[in-house]
Structure 1
């Protein structure tokens, strides 16, 4: 007697603790995408950048802002403002 080949069409249902349900992951993805869009608005020259370049430019921008704050603090200490 021959066995029939088992063909699965569509998704397989998992039993037990598989990955997080779709209802939980989708809002997380939407939150991340929304925050990336907001970050692209804040960081200069990042409108057309992909995620890797956006994060690199964000890190550079943070360093530049920290340097500006340091310079301004020293200037205010020198001039007594």
Structure 2
């Protein structure tokens, strides 16, 4: 019987301790969100060989324009001459 009483006291103490911890955390001010830079749209270009659109930063530059890959650059420049 005394073990049941000790268990009940321990459970009540744990419950009180846990609830106090949760309320202390919720009273703290939330962290301020840092202002984000707005996303700028990527400049898109079309491959001269296949017409696929891709970001300008990923394009392969050639004599005649831009391509999606080195293979398409070679094909287009070989067919042009």
TM-score interval, normalised by the smaller of the two chains: 0.3 to 0.5
| TM-score, with length taken from structure 2 | 0.33
| TM-score, with length taken from structure 1 | 0.33
More strand by share: 2
> Which of structures 1 and 2 has the bigger CA Rg?
2
